[in-house]
C-alpha cells in the first residue's frame, strides 16, 4: 500500500510517499521538506503566526512534489497519515486540514500520528531518497527490533521510552525543563552564533582546536534512580561563564560583567565544545541508566535502541551513541541525516503501522498541541 504522509507541526512543511509492506520495513519513495529557516532567522526562533501562514502557502506544492517524485498518481494512494500532535496549533491545523481534504476526496483512510513517536520510527525506514546511510540496525523485520529502548531528542522534546512495538510505548523519562534542542539553541544565542542555533553550535564545537574540557559545566543527575533530565542549569552555567555573574557589572539590565561579543574566537569555540560535551554526557548518563534497568522495566532484554529527533543529527551525540552500542552489544538505530529533522516519511511509516493495527481516524481528528505520552 502507498501511504501519503503530511507533517506541519512546527516550521517545516513536509510530505512523503512510502510503500508499506505488512510485517516488513516501509520504503520511502519520496520525501519533500520545505524549510522556513530564512523566515525566522531575524527573530532567532520560530514565530508561530509566521510559521502557520508559510504552511498555508507551501502545503499544496509540497504534496504535489512528493507525489510526483514518488512516480505515482494521487489515485494510487491508499491512506493519508498526518502528524496531528504535538506542535504549534496553527501549524498543525494546516496539515490536518489538508490531510482530511485529501483523504475524503480520495476515499481512503485517515490516520492521525503522534509526531514524537514517529521520530522513533524514522530509523526503521528503508530509504535511498533520504540519504540511506548504513545504520547498526538489527536484521529482519520491524517486529524483530522490539522490545526496544527509545530516545527522542529534538527542539521541543527529550524523552526515553520502553517500546513493545512501533505503536506501543511507555515514557519512562523526560526533561523537566528545556528540551535538548532548545538548550542548544539557547546556548547558541548566548554565544551569538545565529539561527539555526543547534547546527551552528555543533559546527563550532567540532572545529579544529576546540577544547571540550576548557570549561567545566554541570551535568544534571537529579537523583540516583531518576531517568528524567534537566538542561536549564547547564544553560545558566554557560551564561555565567560567558558574561560573568549578574549584578556585578554594567552590561545589560541585569548588570553582567562582560558582553558576549567580547569573547575571543578561542573562548567561543571552547565554550561551545564544553557545552556540547556536558549536554551529551547528560543524555548518555540517563540512556545508560535506562539500559541498565531495561529488564526490570520491560520484563525481557532490550533488542535495540531506537533514536530520533533533530538533535540526533548532532555529530558528538551520534558518535557517542554508536560507541555505546558497540560497547554494550546493543544495536543502535540512527536515522539518516535527512530523516533526523521533521519529515513526513516518518509520519507515513508510523501511519502504516497504525493502519495495520486498525487504528484509523475520522473527520473529527483535531490538532493537539500537547502529547499524551
DSSP class per residue in 15-82: EEEEE--TTS--EEEEEEEEE-HHHHGGGTS--HHHHHHHHHHHHHHHHHHHHHHHT--GGGEEEEEE
Statement to judge: residues 322 and 261 lie in one domain: yes
Domain range for 307: 137-334
Indicate whether 197 and 320 sit together in one domain. Answer: yes
Largest CA distance in the chain: 67
- Enter the DSSP assignment of 2: E
pLDDT tens readout for residues 260-291: 888 999 999 999 999 999 999 999 999 999 99
Averaged pLDDT for residues 15-37? 88
Q: Let me know: does 217 contact 275? Beta carbons within 8 Å.
A: yes
On whether both 163 and 229 belong to a single domain, the answer is yes
Task: Work out how many domains the chain is built from and give that number.
Answer: 2
Do residues 152 and 169 lie in contact, with contact meaning Cβ atoms separated by under 8 Å?
no
Q: What is the pLDDT of residues 122-139, one digit of tens each?
A: 999 998 666 544 344 555
Considering the chain, what percentage of its residues have pLDDT values greater than 70?
Answer: 95
373 and 295 assigned to the same domain: no
Describe the chain by its helix, strand, coil percentages, rounded to 5. Answer: 45, 20, 35
pLDDT in the model for residue 228: 97
In the block, cell 535511498 appears at 128
- Fill in the DSSP letter of residue 138: P
Q: Going by C-beta distance under 8 Å and a sequence separation of 6 or more, which residues neighbour residue 56?
A: 94
271 in Cβ contact with 263 (< 8 Å): yes
Strands (E), the chain: 2-7, 12-19, 27-35, 77-85, 110-114, 126-127, 148-153, 158-165, 168-174, 304-308, 332-333
The answer on 145 and 28 residing in a single domain is no
Distance CA 311, CA 320 (A): 13
CA distances from 109 to 53, 59, 81, 94, 287 (A): 27, 20, 8, 18, 37
pLDDT at 373: 67
Same domain (yes/no): 174, 322: yes
- Mean pLDDT within 204-214: 96
Paired strand residues for 251? 256
The reply to whether 97 and 205 lie within a common domain is no
d(CA 221, CA 227): 9
Specify whether the CB–CB gap between 306 and 318 falls below 8 A. no
- Specify the CATH number for the domain of residue 250: 3.30.420.40
312 in the same domain as 176: yes
Whose cell is 545589560? That residue is: 252
| Residue 310 near residue 155 (C-beta atoms within 8 A) | yes
Give the separation between CA 325 and CA 335, rounded to whole angstroms: 15
| Judgement on whether residues 195 and 302 belong to the same structural domain of the protein | yes
Q: Are residues 39 and 71 in the same domain?
A: yes
Task: List pLDDT tens digits, range 133-173.
Answer: 434 455 568 888 999 999 999 988 999 999 999 999 999 99
CA quadruple 292, 295, 298, 300: dihedral positive or negative? Answer: positive
Statement to judge: residues 218 and 302 lie in one domain: yes
Average pLDDT, the chain: 92
Q: Are residues 287 and 346 both part of a single domain?
A: no
Residue 92 has a pLDDT of 96
Is residue 47 pLDDT above 90, yes or no? no
Give the whole-angstrom CA distance, residue 274 versus residue 286: 19
Is pLDDT at 294 greater than 80 in this prediction?
yes
What pTM, to 2 d.p., does this model score? 0.93
**Alpha carbons 14 and 9: distance in angstroms, whole number:** 10
What residues pair up with 174 in beta bridges, in sequence order? 159
pLDDT, position 134: 38
* Closest CA relative to residue 45, chosen from 245, 159, 194, 251: 194
Helices 180-190/265-292 angle, 10° precision: 170
**How far is 340 from 355, CA to CA, in rounded Å?**
23
* Helical ranges in 128-245 per DSSP H: 180-190, 197-205, 232-243
Amino acid at each position: 500500500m502507498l501511504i501519503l504522509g503530511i507533517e506541519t507541526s512546527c516550521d517545516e512543511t513536509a510530505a512523503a510517499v512510502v510503500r508499506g509492506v505488512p510485517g516488513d520495513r516501509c520504503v520511502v519513495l519520496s520525501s519533500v521538506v520545505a524549510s522556513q529557516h530564512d523566515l525566522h532567522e531575524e527573530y532567532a526562533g520560530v514565530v508561530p503566526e509566521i510559521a502557520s501562514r508559510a504552511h498555508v502557502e507551501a502545503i499544496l506544492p509540497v504534496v504535489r512534489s512528493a507525489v510526483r517524485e514518488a512516480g505515482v498518481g494521487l489515485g494510487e494512494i491508499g491512506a493519508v497519515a498526518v502528524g496531528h500532535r504535538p506542535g504549534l496549533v496553527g501549524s498543525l491545523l494546516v496539515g490536518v486540514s489538508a490531510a482530511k481534504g485529501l483523504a475524503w476526496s480520495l476515499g481512503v483512510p485517515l490516520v492521525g500520528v503522534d509526531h514524537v513517536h514517529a521520530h522513533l520510527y524514522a530509523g526503521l525506514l528503508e530509504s535511498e531518497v533520504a540519504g540511506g546511510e548504513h545504520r547498526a540496525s538489527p536484521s529482519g523485520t520491524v517486529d524483530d527490533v522490539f522490545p526496544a529502548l527509545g530516545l527522542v531528542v529534538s527542539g521541543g522534546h527529550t524523552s526515553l521510552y520502553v517500546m513493545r512495538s512501533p505503536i506501543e510505548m511507555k515514557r519512562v523519562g523526560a526533561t523537566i525543563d528545556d528540551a535538548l534542542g532548545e538548550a542548544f539553541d539557547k546556548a547558541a544565542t548566548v554565544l551569538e552564533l545565529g539561527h539555526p542555533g543547534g547546527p551552528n553550535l555543533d559546527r563550532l564545537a567540532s572545529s579544529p582546536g576546540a577544547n571540550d574540557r576548557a570549561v567545566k559545566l554541570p551535568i544534571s543527575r537529579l537523583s540516583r534512580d531518576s531517568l528524567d533530565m534537566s538542561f536549564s542549569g547547564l544553560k545558566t552555567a554557560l551564561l555565567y561563564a560567558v558574561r560573568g555573574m549578574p549584578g556585578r557589572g554594567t552590561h545589560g539590565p541585569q548588570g553582567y560583567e562582560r558582553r558576549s561579543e567580547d569573547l575571543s574566537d578561542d573562548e567561543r569555540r571552547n565554550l561551545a565544545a564544553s557545552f556540547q560535551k556536558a549536554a551529551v554526557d547528560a543524555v548518555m548518563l540517563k540512556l545508560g541508566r535506562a539500559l541498565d534497568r531495561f529488564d526490570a522495566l520491560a520484563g525481557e532484554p532490550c533488542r535495540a535502541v531506537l533514536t530520533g529527533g533533530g538533535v540526533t543529527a548532532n555529530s558528538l551525540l551520534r558518535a557517542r551513541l554508536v560507541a555505546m552500542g558497540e560497547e554494550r552489544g546493543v544495536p543502535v538505530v540512527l536515522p539518516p541525516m535527512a530523516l533526523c529533522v521533521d519529515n513526513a516519511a516518518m509520519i507515513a511509516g508510523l501511519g502504516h503501522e497504525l493502519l495495520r493495527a486498525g487504528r484509523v481516524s475520522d473527520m473529527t481528528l483535531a490538532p493537539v498541541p500537547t502529547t499524551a505520552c
